[in-house]
Amino acid sequence: MLKVKKVLVSQPAPADYEKSPYKAIADKFGLKIVFKKLFQIEGLSAMEFRKSRINLLDYTAVVLNSRNAVDNYFRLAKELRVQVPITMKFFCSSESVAFYIQTYIQYRKRKIFYGKQTTADLMEVVSKHKDEKFLFPCSEDSNSDVPAAFVKAKIPLKKAPMYRTVPAKVASEIKISEFDMLVLFSPVGVRSLFENYPGYKQNKTLIATFGLSVAEAADQAGLTVNLSAPTPTSSSMTQALSEFLTDLHKNGWELKKVEDKYGYRQIQEAAKRVAKAVSAENKAKAAATRSKKAIENKVAANKAAALAVMAEKKGNRKKKSGTTAAKKA
């Protein structure tokens, strides 16, 4: 029986922890939650950015989905001595990102738009400005779904890597073996885990990941992902974590009783089985359709042949009748 008592969350602590969902989870399950980023942001230099041959002023709109994107866009603009025109439009993934822009510009004098929270919300706003030329500041290893959303909407978007995510040195600050659960949010976080703790062994430690790319990175690194979020019923890590721990608690902290519902490998295998079953069903339907069509073609051919025979007999009768009539005459 495994009971979770201490959790490492690889993100900065919430601004107001007392009112955060993490505090509610800690209180509900009697946990100690430690916040520590396993990675850090490193901005590309102006020289590195120039290699991309992207001219910031060639674009009339900027899509920003994080504070890191905001910071590095304006940092590079300054380093490149580019004066961002007052006509530039900014499309932000959320209201908080939109308000953060005030760190660099006067909010009221700019054209700033934002979605409620999701990429779908953002695209509803973007779709009203299709004629703009969009630039997307992002990290070198970005796994954002924003570019795919633009492709789907058939709106041109230029990705502009402006920063990178690199492992942080935390080994001297964190004793990793003390934690019963690690919550990871980036593939770089997975890499950082092994760089900080060479030869790391998971043993009985639970691993939670947010996002498919993170789960894949953890799986490829030999870790067993016990909670792969988001889940069909939880869109955020805190929701998924609360749901997972609740189910574990109800099942006497027996991991095997919940792994089919939350485990990455189990979910992937189930998805493959479903896909295989669907593929087999589609093949069977296709075969049945081909068989039915073959039968229909055969029936049509037989019918055509029968009609041809009947037409030939009818023609012969007419010919015979004509010959008889000629003889009588």
Q: List all residues 6 or more positions away from 32 whose beta carbon is below 8 Å from its beta carbon.
A: 5, 6, 7, 26
Interatomic CA distance for residues 227 and 205, integer angstroms: 12
191-225 b/e (C-beta count within 10 Å ≥ 16 → b)? bbbebbeeebebeebbbbbbbeebbbbbbeeebbb
DSSP string, 211-238: SHHHHHHHHHTT---SEEESBTTBSSHH
Q: What is the pTM of this model?
A: 0.65
Along the 329 residues of the chain, how does pLDDT read in single tens digits?
Answer: 578 999 999 998 988 999 999 999 999 999 999 999 998 899 999 999 999 999 999 999 999 988 999 999 999 999 999 999 999 999 998 888 898 998 998 877 678 998 876 788 899 999 999 999 999 999 987 878 899 999 999 999 999 999 998 899 999 999 999 999 999 988 899 999 999 999 999 999 999 999 888 999 999 999 999 999 988 888 789 999 999 999 999 999 899 999 889 988 877 775 555 445 555 556 666 666 676 676 777 767 677 666 666 766 666 666 656 555 555 55
CA angle, residues 17, 18, 21, in degrees to nearest 5:
70
Amino acid at site 40: Q
**Domain 42-165 CATH (choose: 3.20.20.70, 3.20.20.140, 3.40.50.720, 3.40.50.10090):** 3.40.50.10090
Per DSSP, the three-state class of 203 is coil
Per DSSP, the three-state class of 255 is helix
CATH class of 6-38+168-262: alpha beta
Amino acid at site 19: K
Q: Six-digit token pair at 195?
A: 């760089």
The dihedral through the CA atoms of 191, 197, 199, 205 has a sign that is: negative
